[in-house]
Amino acid sequence: MTKVSFKYEPDKFLTLFPENIFDKIDKNHPAKLVEMVVNQLDIKDILQKYKGGGCSAYHPRTMIKIIFYSYLSNIYSCRKMALAVKENLPLMYLAGGITPDFRTINDFRGKTLKDSLQKLFAEIVKLLVKEGYLSLDIQYIDGTKIESAANKYTFVWRGSVEKYKEKLEVKINKVLSDIEDSIHSDNQEINKKELPKKINVEALKEQLSQINKRLEEPSKKQEKELQKLQNEYLPKLEQYEKSLEIMGDRNSYSKTDTDATFMRMKDDHMKNGQLKPTYNAQISTENQFITHVSIHQTPSDTTTLESHLNGFEKNYQKQSKEVCADAGYGSEENYEMLERKGVKGYIKFSFFHIEQKKKQKEDPFLVQNMYYNLKEDYYVCPMGQKLRNVGKGKRISSNGYKSEIAYYQAQRCEGCLLRGLCHKSKGNRRIEVNYRLNQLKSRARALLTSERGQYHRRKRPIEVEAVFGQLKSDNKFNRFTHRGKEKVEMEFLLMSIGHNFRKLLSNRKKTAQLEAKTNKNTLKSSQNTTFLFSYLLQAA
């Protein structure tokens, strides 16, 4: 029987010189990469926030290393970071022996680092540009809805607030009218004032102040009505006005996170289209690196594009030459904005794919397939009837953008044999035409169907969609842990920095493997050449 041998027991093994445990960290370890990148960052803005005196503070560069590596390792909780600094060897190496508690880490992240994080993110991207991983000449843009940390049943809706506020204004006006009537009956010399239908908090306070001055000794009924106005109606009116102020241009908000808006999510676990308090996170990518991040409170991607591109331009003092996005961004406003900025927009519009089908192209009842007489400005339907211009109108988007619409109407559709196929309205057929949008769509169609456009359309799903998949599925980031737009943006920026570090590590590993394989093939080829040369010499 073979004798079993064991290695030494660690507690009985003695060394002559103490061992450096950090030597166990490989030179290609992610911690070494984080250290190298953070040491190159400019943190003057963060250093200026510190005031002299008092207890010495942990160096901000060390704290940044701890937080960046934690997000790279999918550690998002400050308590877990504080524990990992004491137990995790790479974090112990980056911390350099310090052990900040969770409150210190949380205060640094939420107060000191928050305002400078966008700048640090941009600096990391610039380092990637310098290394040749990015060019910043192309942006693949898309958005995803990420659930807020707010309670999903604490919703406040604009429609409800406006409805109850209107009912309250009616009640207030009625009580004020009753008081005025009683004053008018007591004193004939006082003229009864006409009360405004719409009333706000300031107007109500002023009305109450004037009534109190005019009523030296109010009756019991008047006193009761004044108390009702002061103690019941006024606080409710203040609450409704505050809710509308918080809401701004939105239709809803959450009581436990007033910056979150209720939106429908694709990955609804209830499968019934529930509305949840959510933020619309927009990202730009290139080679699956995240190059820009912005957080929005509107569910539609259409309204986010301009502010997202403006943020990109502010960070890098340049704008990309090309932008590629899906049909959610295709609008007259966005196409004009891209032309104004001198950017080639490979952005699909609604029905881009549908209009290329044979059924759509051969449908004679569609507006785009009707004959148009430019000189006399009329369309001709399949039955030969002219649809003449009957006027113009304007449409205003949620961003305040105005579009001009031309209206065309047929004169007699009664008795038409093709009416059932043509339209379903009761009267004569009426069509709307946006000439400017049609012109912009034509340019967008030419770009999208070009060779370059087809390349971008093939690449877009494996660019930005893959990044969202990695963030949500691989890193389990499906819900924000912070509340408020500023802190949510901070959290998403840290997630993006962690993603960029992971992507950089992956690319470096692939490059190292490729170089090793190349060197191996070169060595093998050299050995074969040497063997052949030796064989030829022997043969000679």
pLDDT tens digits for range 479-497: 999 999 999 999 999 999 9
Find the range with the poorest average confidence among 181-195, 302-316, 507-521: 181-195
Compute φ and ψ for 323, nearest 5 degrees: -135, 130
pLDDT at 419: 85
pLDDT at 97: 85
- The gap between the terminal CA atoms of the chain, to the nearest Å, is 57
pLDDT at 459: 94
Three-class DSSP category at 3: coil
Query: Is 12 a residue whose pLDDT tops 80?
Result: no
Pick from 126, 145, 143, 144: which is nearest to 134 by CA?
Answer: 126
Helices vs strands, H then E, count in the chain: 19, 13
Query: Is 196 a residue whose pLDDT tops 60?
Result: no
- Strands 252-254 and 155-157 turn out to be antiparallel
* Residue predicted with more confidence, 188 or 93: 93
Query: Is 465 a residue whose pLDDT tops 50?
Result: yes
Task: Give me the count of residues in the chain.
Answer: 540
Instruction: Please name the amino acid found at residue 33.
Output: L
Average model confidence (pLDDT) across the chain: 87
Instruction: Specify burial of residue 213 (Cβ count, 10 A radius: 0-12, 13-18, 19+).
Output: exposed
Dist. CA 31–CA 91, nearest whole Å: 7
Dist. CA 503–CA 196, nearest whole Å: 63
Q: Calculate the alpha carbon distances from 447 to 334, 345, 450, 462, 504 in Å.
A: 15, 8, 5, 20, 32
Dist. CA 172–CA 160, nearest whole Å: 18
Over residues 179-188, the mean pLDDT reads 67
Over residues 425-432, the mean pLDDT reads 88
Query: Is 309 a residue whose pLDDT tops 80?
Result: yes
| Contact (Cβ atoms closer than 8 angstroms) between residue 279 and residue 296 | yes
* Residue predicted with more confidence, 437 or 274: 437
Report residue 195 CA to chain centroid gap: 45
- Strands 322-325 and 138-147 turn out to be parallel
Three-class DSSP category at 23: helix
User: How is residue 133 written in tokens?
Assistant: 């991983």
Confidence of residue 274 (pLDDT cuts 50, 70, 90): confident
Query: Is 294 a residue whose pLDDT tops 70?
Result: yes
Confidence of residue 180 (pLDDT cuts 50, 70, 90): confident
pLDDT at 116: 92
- Tokens 């289209």, residue located: 273
The segment with the largest mean pLDDT, out of 189-203, 350-364, 438-452, is 438-452
pLDDT at 55: 84
Dist. CA 150–CA 184, nearest whole Å: 52
Query: Is 128 a residue whose pLDDT tops 50?
Result: yes
Dist. CA 193–CA 199, nearest whole Å: 14
The segment with the largest mean pLDDT, out of 354-368, 420-434, 493-507, is 493-507
Dist. CA 117–CA 497, nearest whole Å: 10
pLDDT at 204: 81
Over residues 23-40, the mean pLDDT reads 89
pLDDT at 321: 94
Query: Is 338 a residue whose pLDDT tops 50?
Result: yes
Helices marked H in 100-200 — which ranges?
102-107, 117-130, 158-186
Residues 6+ apart with CB under 8 A from 533: none
pLDDT at 271: 63
Confidence of residue 179 (pLDDT cuts 50, 70, 90): confident
* Residue predicted with more confidence, 526 or 509: 509
Find the range with the poorest average confidence among 3-12, 44-53, 119-128, 165-174: 3-12
pLDDT at 187: 56
pLDDT at 335: 94
| Contact (Cβ atoms closer than 8 angstroms) between residue 348 and residue 326 | yes
